[in-house]
A = this chain, B = another copy of it.
Amino acid sequence: MGTRSIGVVQPQQVSLPLTEKGLLLESGATLPAVTVQYETYGRLSPTGDNAILVLHAFSGDAHAAGRHAEEDRYPGWWDDMIGPGKAFDTDRFFVVCSNVLGGCQGTTGPGSINPATGRHYALDFPVVTIGDMVDVQKRLLDILGIDRLYAVAGGSMGGMQALEWAVRYPQMVERAIVLASTSRLNSQGIAFNAVGRNAIMSDPAWNNGEYYGAPQPGHGLAIARMVGHITYLSSESMRQKFGRRLQNGRPGNLAFDDQFEVESYLAYQGEKFVDRFDANSYIYLTKAMDYYDLAGSWGGMEAAMRRVEGSLLVLSYSSDWLFPTEQSKEIVYALARAGKDVSFNEIQSPYGHDSFLLEASLQSELITAFLTGKKR
Give me the interface of A with B, judged by CB distance under 8 Å.
26-27, 123, 127, 129, 184-188, 190-192, 194-195, 198-199, 202-204, 219-220, 222-223, 226-227, 230, 233, 235, 238-239, 241-244, 251-252, 254-256, 259-260, 262-263, 266-267, 270, 287, 290-291, 293, 296-297, 321, 324
Nearest chain-B residue to A184 (Cβ)?
A: B244
Q: How far is the CA of A256 from the CA of B293 in the complex (A)?
A: 16
What chain B residues lie within 8 Å of A259 (beta carbons)?
194
B187 and A239 contacting across the interface, CB-CB below 8 Å? yes
What chain B residues lie within 8 Å of A252 (beta carbons)?
296-297
What chain B residues lie within 8 Å of A270 (beta carbons)?
198
A188 and B291 contacting across the interface, CB-CB below 8 Å? no
B191 and A230 contacting across the interface, CB-CB below 8 Å? yes
30 of the cross-chain contacts (CB-CB < 8 Å) are A27-B254, A123-B256, A184-B244, A185-B244, A186-B239, A186-B244, A187-B243, A187-B244, A187-B260, A188-B230, A188-B235, A188-B238, A188-B239, A190-B244, A190-B262, A191-B262, A191-B263, A191-B266, A194-B226, A194-B259, A194-B263, A194-B266, A195-B223, A198-B270, A199-B223, A202-B203, A202-B220, A235-B321, A252-B297, A260-B290
Q: Given A184-B244, A239-B186, A266-B195, answer yes or no on A256-B203 (Cβ-Cβ < 8 Å).
A: no
A238 and B186 contacting across the interface, CB-CB below 8 Å? yes
Nearest chain-B residue to A260 (Cβ)?
A: B190
Q: Number of copies of this chain in the oligomer?
A: 2
> What is the minimal beta-carbon distance from A245 to any residue of chain B, in angstroms?
9
What chain B residues lie within 8 Å of A238 (beta carbons)?
186-188, 191
Known: A202-B219, A321-B321. 10 other contacts (CB 8 A): A27-B254, A123-B256, A185-B244, A188-B230, A191-B263, A194-B259, A198-B222, A198-B226, A199-B223, A235-B324
Q: How far is the CA of A291 from the CA of B267 in the complex (A)?
A: 19
Q: How far is the CA of A331 from the CA of B129 in the complex (A)?
A: 48
Q: How far is the CA of A267 from the CA of B293 in the complex (A)?
A: 23
Q: How far is the CA of A263 from the CA of B233 in the complex (A)?
A: 23
What chain B residues lie within 8 Å of A198 (beta carbons)?
222-223, 226, 266-267, 270
Q: How far is the CA of A203 from the CA of B190 in the complex (A)?
A: 24
Q: How far is the CA of A266 from the CA of B227 in the complex (A)?
A: 15
B127 and A255 contacting across the interface, CB-CB below 8 Å? yes
> What is the minimal beta-carbon distance from A206 to any residue of chain B, in angstroms?
11
> What is the minimal beta-carbon distance from A104 to any residue of chain B, in angstroms?
17
Q: How far is the CA of A94 from the CA of B262 in the complex (A)?
A: 42
Q: Given A195-B227, A267-B198, answer yes or no on A251-B296 (Cβ-Cβ < 8 Å).
A: yes
Contact with A226, one of B195, B204, B226 (Cβ below 8 angstroms): B195
From A192, A256, A293, residue with most partner B Cβ within 10 Å:
A256
What chain B residues lie within 8 Å of A194 (beta carbons)?
226, 259-260, 262-263, 266-267
Q: How far is the CA of A227 from the CA of B287 in the complex (A)?
A: 18
Q: How far is the CA of A371 from the CA of B127 in the complex (A)?
A: 58
Q: How far is the CA of A232 from the CA of B290 in the complex (A)?
A: 21
Q: How far is the CA of A238 from the CA of B230 in the complex (A)?
A: 19
What chain B residues lie within 8 Å of A297 (beta carbons)?
252
Contact with A223, one of B223, B267, B293 (Cβ below 8 angstroms): B223
Nearest chain-B residue to A229 (Cβ)?
A: B191
What chain B residues lie within 8 Å of A262 (beta carbons)?
187, 190-191, 194
What chain B residues lie within 8 Å of A235 (beta carbons)?
186-188, 321, 324
A293 and B251 contacting across the interface, CB-CB below 8 Å? yes
